[in-house]
């Protein structure tokens, strides 16, 4: 099977190691990965700020770039929410709608793809560990892929998942929200950190680069003892890939 | 708070900063919201296995009426008139206030008692009456508390939720001369005693409306304390203020919506008082008002109705659960929105009612987490509508929200977003930008030239580590088709 891998803008800029691990996770299942060198961003920053015309240009770039009939695998429930759901909304009544729809129907979040399409079965190779989990809002409510990630974690026999009390509450990232309303955003992320620290785990995991950028950046600032890790880095380690 | 003044970004920054630093407020809100969220959740799990179907039915009941609101309003008017109600139409807030004032003046009324009504807040009734020399007194416990300290409701269902019982005790001590108490029962006792005195011999009562039933010409009022029943029955003249969107077709539809309202609002199956009012006192009846009036308030609702998407916001049954679940609302509280209606639904309707130019900043008060849309009992797509509001600001939306033309928005942001879109739709430019902005790639890229951004980000967060060039690494990976 051949798939496109869309690293996302944060995957390209900050989480490049994660992006590599994602590719390896796919290859491990015998999937052939195509990486388009002209890939950019899903367009969420401009979309959520209300720049609809501008965003349509980005959407069409993506639609035309990933044009073959392969699944498009994205390691972010947030970008998947944008690409599989919001793209359609943005192009409702537009002449390119069918083209966009053909694209949107092929978009999968990585955990969703591993779990539902490839039906992976993992053997945990790591030492016993306690972790907690932050659900990205769009992954939870728009693309609805959190369940798959959790199902995969449950296959890791040495991993104890301690739920957060406020798992489903926004961490305060919200793309441009974090810089438009820095004070409110900070109040939100501090509440999240408080929750994370009270769980007494080694790591907080999330499958979303935006949230992690926010949570880990704020945790570093307050010198939190809990570490954060991208879910796909964690997974790669547990199954003996990754670094 | 006046509705006609423009609220600048600076006003918002100031009030938000103030509220965020108010530790007491934050604690009160957090615990109140947690209670409301958990009560709702437990109730739905225990008693409402078919909540999703009920939501769809409720949504349909509202959308059906909204699709032909004119004719339902007309039907309501006919039937209500037959029942003996006097039906008035108010196009603006001023119209509504004048109708009430004139009714009071003609009958020599100097003191009006009010049940809870957000519509009356929307039109600024209390202030208007005060200026005309008429006292409008709140009778709802929460409303009473905040009226005593000259505040506005902080929440659309629980107006004084930002005050805890100790604070309420102090307010009663200071303003009503009561002994200092903090037990809920004792506080209730103080309020009851005070209200009993107020209700004695009062002539005119004002109420809101939860559902206006077109087929029957009746109104349905939901409350918990009995004060609403007093306000609507123990007086000579009862005036109900009813936003035209409160219309439903039948009792059946109203029942469906009531079944959604009570669990969503306070996590109970039904409230203590459900008042269905079919008109003034009839011949031979022992109680009820001699006159019953209904004011059908438009106040820009027709504009909302005219838009292909925003009209859905008129389905709102004012349950307040979107506020309870909003991660922004629970941090800053309702007053920081500088508007009558706070929280997600407030963000959506405030600019439509009072002009986006007056409320440009309000659209920022949302991280688009989507939780409000998930819990809204009538499935209003609140996040989508908030995003559309932002598009109105940038002039890339439908151009339908009042005052959007004069709305200020950041030119810097516009430049940044335009640059971003240009890069993100061109692979070569994008790669070049990525290579260049190696110091702080993600935000540098996302916001283009919007430079103050970095500073704002770093105020509360460390700089992320940039991990180098993904492309070079991918090319090295065996088996990857790099094209
Ligand atoms: S928008 Fe929905 S959740 Fe919010 S108050 Fe209205 S009905 Fe309730």
pLDDT of res. B435: 73
Most distant CA atoms of chain B, gap in Å: 93
Which residues from A are below 8 Å from B467, CB to CB?
A: 14-17
pLDDT exceeds cutoff 80 at B450: no
Nearest CA owner, ligand 1 atom 4:
B322
Answer yes or no: do A50 and B474 touch at CB < 8 A.
no
Per the confidence metrics, is the pTM higher than 0.90? yes
Answer yes or no: do B421 and A216 touch at CB < 8 A.
no
Q: Would you state the structure tokens that stand for residue B7, as one six-digit string? A: 């609220």
Taking Cα atoms as reference points, which of B411, B460, B409, B467 lies closest to residue B442?
A: B467
Contact B161, B29 (CB under 8 A): yes
Confidence of residue B187 (pLDDT cuts 50, 70, 90): very high
pLDDT exceeds cutoff 50 at B1: no
DSSP string, B23-73: HHHHHHHHHHHHHHHHHHHHHHHHH-TTHHHHHHHHHHHHHHHHTTHHHHH
The residue with greater pLDDT, B471 or A14, is B471
Closest-CA distance, A136 to chain B, in angstroms, reads: 9
Nearest CA owner, ligand 1 atom 7:
B316
Backbone phi, psi, residue B234, to 5°: -85, 5
DSSP string, B172-229: HHHHH-PPP---HHHHHHHHHHHHHHHHTT--EEEE--SEEETTTTEEEEEESSSHHH
Answer yes or no: do B482 and A15 touch at CB < 8 A.
no
pLDDT of res. B258: 98
β-strand partners of B59: none
Of B331, B425, B434, the CB nearest to A57: B425
pLDDT exceeds cutoff 60 at B440: no
Distance of CA A204 to CAs A16, A165, A166, A222, B465, Å?
19, 13, 13, 15, 18
**A126 has a chain B CB within 8 A of its CB:** no
ipTM of the predicted structure?
0.95
pLDDT tens across B399-431, in order?
A: 999 999 999 888 888 888 888 899 999 999 888
> Is there an atom of ligand 1 within 6 Å of B267 CB?
no
For tokens 């015998």, the residue is A30
Provide the mean pLDDT of chain A: 95
pLDDT tens across B298-353, in order?
A: 999 999 999 999 999 999 999 999 999 999 999 999 999 999 999 999 999 999 99
β-strand partners of B113: B137, B205
Distance of CA B228 to CAs B85, B238, B288, B379, Å?
18, 11, 13, 28
β-strand partners of B247: B212
Confidence of residue A10 (pLDDT cuts 50, 70, 90): confident
β-strand partners of A161: A131
Q: How many CA atoms lie within 13 A of B348 on its CB side?
A: 27
Q: Give the C-alpha separation, B260 to B257, whole Å.
A: 5
Say how many CB pairs under 8 Å bridge A and B. Answer: 233
pLDDT tens across B261-282, in order?
A: 999 999 999 999 999 999 999 9
Backbone phi, psi, residue A53, to 5°: -60, -50
pLDDT of res. B453: 62
pLDDT exceeds cutoff 60 at B446: no
CA B404 from chain centre, in angstroms, equals 20
B148 by DSSP, 3-state: which? helix
Answer yes or no: do B479 and A27 touch at CB < 8 A.
yes
> Is there an atom of ligand 1 within 6 Å of B345 CB?
yes
pLDDT tens across B342-394, in order?
A: 999 999 999 999 999 999 999 999 999 999 999 999 999 999 999 999 999 99
Q: Give the C-alpha separation, B398 to B214, whole Å.
A: 32
pLDDT of res. B39: 97
């Amino acid at each position: 099977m051949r798939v496109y891998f869309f690293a996302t803008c944060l995957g390209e800029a900050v989480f490049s190691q994660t992006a590599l691990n994602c590719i390896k996770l796919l290859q491990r299942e015998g999937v052939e990965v195509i990486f388009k060198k002209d890939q950019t961003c899903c367009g969420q920053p401009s979309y959520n700020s209300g720049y609809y015309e501008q965003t349509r240009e980005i959407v069409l770039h993506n639609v035309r770039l990933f044009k073959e009939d392969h699944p498009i695998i994205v390691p972010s429930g947030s970008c998947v929410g944008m690409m599989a759901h919001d793209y359609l909304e943005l192009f409702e009544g537009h002449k390119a709608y069918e083209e966009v729809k053909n694209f949107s129907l092929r978009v999968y979040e990585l955990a969703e793809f591993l779990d539902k399409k490839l039906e992976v079965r993992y053997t945990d190779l790591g030492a016993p560990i306690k972790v907690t989990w932050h659900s990205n809002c769009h992954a939870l409510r728009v693309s609805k892929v959190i369940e798959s990630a959790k199902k995969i974690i449950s296959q890791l026999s040495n991993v104890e998942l301690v739920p957060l009390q406020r798992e489903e509450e926004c961490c305060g990232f919200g793309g441009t929200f974090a810089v438009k309303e820095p004070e409110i955003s900070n109040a939100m992320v501090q509440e999240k950190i408080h929750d994370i620290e009270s769980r007494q785990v080694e790591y907080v995991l999330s499958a979303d680069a935006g949230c992690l950028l926010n949570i880990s950046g704020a945790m570093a600032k307050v010198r939190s003892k809990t570490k954060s890790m991208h879910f796909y880095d964690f997974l790669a380690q547990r199954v003996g890939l990754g670094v | 708070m006046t509705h006609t003044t423009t609220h600048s970004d600076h006003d918002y920054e100031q009030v938000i900063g103030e509220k965020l630093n108010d530790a007491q407020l934050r604690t009160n809100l957090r615990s109140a919201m947690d209670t409301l969220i958990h009560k709702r959740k437990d109730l739905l799990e225990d008693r409402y296995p078919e909540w999703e179907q009920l939501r769809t039915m409720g949504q349909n009941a509202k959308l059906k009426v909204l699709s032909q609101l004119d004719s339902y309003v007309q039907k309501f008017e006919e039937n209500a008139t037959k029942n003996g109600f006097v039906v008035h139409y108010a196009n603006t807030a001023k119209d509504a206030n004048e109708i009430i004032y004139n009714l009071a003046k003609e009958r020599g009324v100097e003191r009006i008692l009010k049940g809870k009504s957000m519509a009356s807040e929307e039109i600024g009734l209390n202030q208007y009456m005060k200026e005309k020399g008429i006292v409008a007194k709140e009778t709802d416990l929460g409303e009473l508390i905040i009226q005593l300290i000259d505040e506005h409701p902080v929440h659309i269902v629980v107006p004084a939720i930002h005050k805890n019982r100790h604070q309420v005790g102090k307010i009663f001590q200071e303003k009503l001369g009561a002994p200092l108490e903090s037990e809920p029962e004792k506080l209730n006792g103080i309020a009851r005693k005070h209200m009993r005195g107020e209700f004695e011999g009062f002539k005119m009562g004002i109420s809101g409306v939860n559902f206006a039933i077109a087929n029957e010409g009746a109104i349905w009022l939901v409350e918990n304390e009995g004060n609403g029943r007093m306000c609507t029955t123990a007086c000579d003249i009862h005036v109900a203020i009813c936003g035209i969107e409160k219309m439903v077709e039948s009792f059946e539809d109203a029942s469906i919506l009531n079944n959604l309202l009570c669990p969503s609002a306070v996590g109970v199956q039904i409230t203590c008082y459900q008042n269905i009012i079919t008109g003034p006192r009839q011949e031979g009846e022992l109680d009820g008002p001699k006159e019953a009036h209904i004011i059908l308030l438009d106040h820009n609702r027709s504009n909302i109705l005219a838009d292909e998407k925003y009209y859905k916001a008129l389905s709102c049954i004012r349950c307040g659960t979107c506020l309870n679940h909003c991660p922004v609302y629970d941090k800053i509280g309702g007053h920081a929105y500088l508007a009558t209606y706070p929280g997600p639904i407030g963000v959506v309707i405030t600019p439509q009612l009072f002009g986006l130019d007056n409320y440009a900043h309000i659209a920022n008060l949302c991280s688009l987490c989507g939780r409000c849309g998930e819990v809204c009992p009538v499935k209003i797509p609140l996040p989508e509508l908030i995003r559309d509001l932002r598009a109105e600001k940038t002039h890339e939306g439908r151009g339908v929200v009042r005052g959007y033309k004069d709305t200020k928005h950041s030119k810097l942001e516009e430049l940044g977003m335009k640059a971003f879109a240009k890069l993100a739709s061109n692979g070569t430019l994008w790669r070049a930008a990525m290579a260049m902005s190696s110091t702080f790639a993600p935000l540098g890229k996302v916001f283009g030239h919007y430079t103050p951004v970095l500073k704002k980000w770093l105020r509360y967060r460390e700089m992320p580590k940039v991990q180098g060039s993904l492309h070079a690494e991918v090319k090295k990976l065996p088996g990857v088709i790099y094209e």
